[in-house]
């Protein structure tokens, strides 16, 4: 019986080196490329592994006639045409659990930074100003946090917030009632009601056709005066122009933004025009911890090997 050739495996983008090494040790023929342009020929690729910023369209899949496994070394699925993947019978793998803790911790980091004006005070101090009285902080104990999406990240945020302690409420029509009780969250019937009752509003849902711009000016304006808004989920869920307007007017105290509608955000993005006391900004780094990167590598590798064994390719 002829020896089976090693599956041709292409890694696109900033895929963890740990994943590359694990796949090679497991018998896959691994090559890396920064993106589609650098990848060259893809016709014979059996396994495609992409980093979070790489977009995979139906046209891309159409050129990869040998593709059997598509893996995303990340939690989300919004950069992949899943319908085209399923239509081709390609196995899809990702790491939905891997970065939940790191994303939740960044959410709380942004919350504390926004509440205490840390970006403002750090900037002032570096510029030689000892301006302790110019921006007074906000204590979070006893405040109400509203969570959009009570999944892997949102549920962790709820538990962390309760330890402050904050009162937690959540809107998620896809989560059963018992999960709300399990995480100590009050179930809120609508997004409008959640906004109206939240001193802090934080987003933890995927970007889909239904969630794109789900938080517009009308919903954000329902927030109590002085509220804080956080996004460590996906850009495009919150209307950034509306949020910037409400921050500039003072209705929203401050925002912490890790995910942007366009990444990197152009300098003309109105949120970037806000003063340091109104904005804490990070470059989509919710999963950028050593621990999360290792878990992404391990979960993705496990899924790839399992899929290849089921297909008889290993």
The residue assigned the tokens 């030689």 is 128
For the question of residue 263 being annotated catalytic, the response is yes
- Phi, psi for 292 (deg, rounded to 5): -65, -40
Name the 3-class secondary structure at 39: helix
The active-site residue, picked from 91, 94, 121, 234, is 234
User: Could you give the CA distance from residue 154 to residue 231 in angstroms, rounded to a whole number?
Assistant: 11
Q: Which among 25, 97, 134, 263 is annotated as catalytic?
A: 263
Rounded to an integer, what distance in angstroms lies between the CA atom of residue 89 and that of residue 86? 5
Active site residue 116: no
CA-based nearest residue to 199, from 115, 270, 259: 115
Distances (CA, A) of 146 to 182, 189, 237, 242: 16, 12, 15, 19
Task: Name the active-site residue from 284, 293, 295, 299.
Answer: 284
Does 218 qualify as catalytic in the annotation?
Answer: no
CA distance 48 to 60: 11
Query: Cis ω on the peptide bond leading into residue 81 (within 30° of 0)?
Result: no
User: Where in the sequence numbering do the catalytic residues fall?
Assistant: 234, 263, 284
């Amino acid at each position: 019986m002829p020896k089976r050739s090693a599956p041709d495996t292409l890694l696109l983008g900033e895929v963890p080196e740990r994943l590359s090494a694990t796949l090679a040790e497991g018998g896959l023929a691994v090559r890396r490329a920064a993106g589609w342009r650098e990848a060259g020929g893809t016709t014979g690729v059996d396994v495609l592994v992409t980093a979070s910023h790489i977009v995979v369209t139906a046209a891309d899949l159409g050129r990869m006639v040998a593709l059997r496994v598509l893996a995303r070394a990340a939690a989300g699925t919004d950069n992949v045409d899943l319908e085209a993947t399923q239509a081709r019978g390609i196995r899809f793998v990702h790491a939905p659990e891997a970065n939940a803790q790191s994303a939740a911790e960044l959410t709380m980091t942004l919350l504390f930074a926004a509440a205490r004006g840390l970006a403002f005070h750090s900037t002032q101090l570096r510029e030689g100003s000892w301006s302790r009285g110019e921006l007074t902080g906000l204590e979070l104990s006893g405040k109400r946090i509203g969570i959009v999406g009570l999944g892997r990240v949102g549920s962790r945020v709820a538990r962390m917030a309760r330890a402050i302690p904050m009162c937690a409420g959540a809107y998620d029509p896809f989560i059963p009632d018992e999960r709300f009780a399990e995480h100590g969250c009050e179930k809120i019937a609508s997004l409008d009601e959640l906004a109206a009752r939240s001193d802090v509003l934080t987003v933890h849902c995927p970007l889909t056709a239904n969630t794109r711009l789900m938080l517009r000016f009308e919903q954000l304006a329902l927030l109590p005066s002085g509220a804080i808004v956080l996004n460590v989920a996906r850009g495009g869920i919150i209307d950034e122009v509306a949020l910037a307007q409400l921050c500039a007017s003072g209705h929203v105290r401050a925002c912490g933004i890790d995910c942007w509608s366009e990444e990197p955000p152009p300098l003309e993005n109105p949120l970037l025009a806000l003063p340091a006391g109104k904005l804490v900004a990070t470059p989509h780094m919710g999963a950028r911890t050593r621990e999360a990167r290792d878990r992404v590598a391990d979960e993705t590798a496990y899924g790839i090997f399992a899929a290849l064994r089921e297909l008889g390719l290993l």
